Structures are given as C-alpha cells and as structure tokens.
Amino acid sequence: MQYNECLGRSIYSIFSKKQADSNGFVDNMAKWNKQLDHIIRTILFLLISFLSACSIPLFGGYGSEGRTREEFAKYVEDVFRLQNHVTSQIMILMESGEIELQQSLVKAEQQMQEICSPINEYASRDIDGLNIAVSLLRRVEKSAEACDKAAQNVEAMLNDL
C-alpha cells in the first residue's frame, strides 16, 4: 500500500507542477494575444485612415473653390460637355470647308485636348465600365479647372470667327 500512496503522491505532484507551468503558459499566451490584438487594431486603424485619405480631400474640398464631391463631379461633367462641344464644332467646321481654320485656333484646340486628356480618359473608362484608378481621379481633379479655361478660350475663338 505504501508503494501506491507514494506513486499517487508522485503522480499528483507531477500533474500539479505541470498544471502550474501550464497556467503560466496560459497567462503568457493571454498577454501575447492581448498585445497582438492591440497591434492588429492599430494597423487596421492606420490602413483605414490612409485609404480614406485617398478619397477625401484633406483641406477644403475639391478644386480651388472647395466644392463638395457631388458639386465637383457635376463641374467635371459640365467641363467635359463644353470641351466635347467645342471639339465637335471644330470638326464640323473642318469637314464643311466653309471656313479655313486659323492656325492659332487649331493650336489652341490641340492644347485643350492635351490639358483635358485626364477628363477624356476618365469619361472613356467610365463609359466602357473599366476600373478607374485613384491616380486618374487625382489627375482629373488637378486638370479640371485648366481644362475649363482652355475650353472657354477655344469657344471664344470660335465665336470670333
């Protein structure tokens, strides 16, 4: 009987020691998980902040007048329509042959096309249902007002003919 008691005590002491060690292990794992959770939350917060910064202007809205997103989208659409209308008028005049276009008008129209290329690319990709990159949206934002001025300039030159 002594042997069994001694064996029982040894087994009990071994399991008790392992239990104590595993509790320490569990405590360490809990601390590690808590730290990992904090790191993951911080990374997610930073990622969301950076991604939202890609779509929201930091100061005062879109363009030099600080338009809202909806106002700016309408403005860009109006600029695109004006630029498209001016280009159509020039093409009609060139095809009809009624009026020989001045070199300055042709040059102004070419410059307008170059300035307005981000807006035209955006419109083309939107019509085709293609993905529109954030970089293209930024180029559209930067070029919209210059495109508007160029289109108004070409329209004034056409009206002077």
pLDDT over threshold 90, residue 116: yes
Name the pTM for this structure. 0.61
Tokens 């990709």 correspond to 125
For 23-35, what is each residue's pLDDT tens digit? 566 666 777 777 7
For 40-57, what is each residue's pLDDT tens digit? 777 766 666 565 555 545
For 74-103, what is each residue's pLDDT tens digit? 999 999 999 999 999 988 888 887 667 788
CA–CA dist 78, 55 (Å, integer): 21
Q: Are 154 and 112 in contact (CB under 8 A)?
A: yes
Q: How long is the chain?
A: 161
Tokens 């030159």 correspond to 157
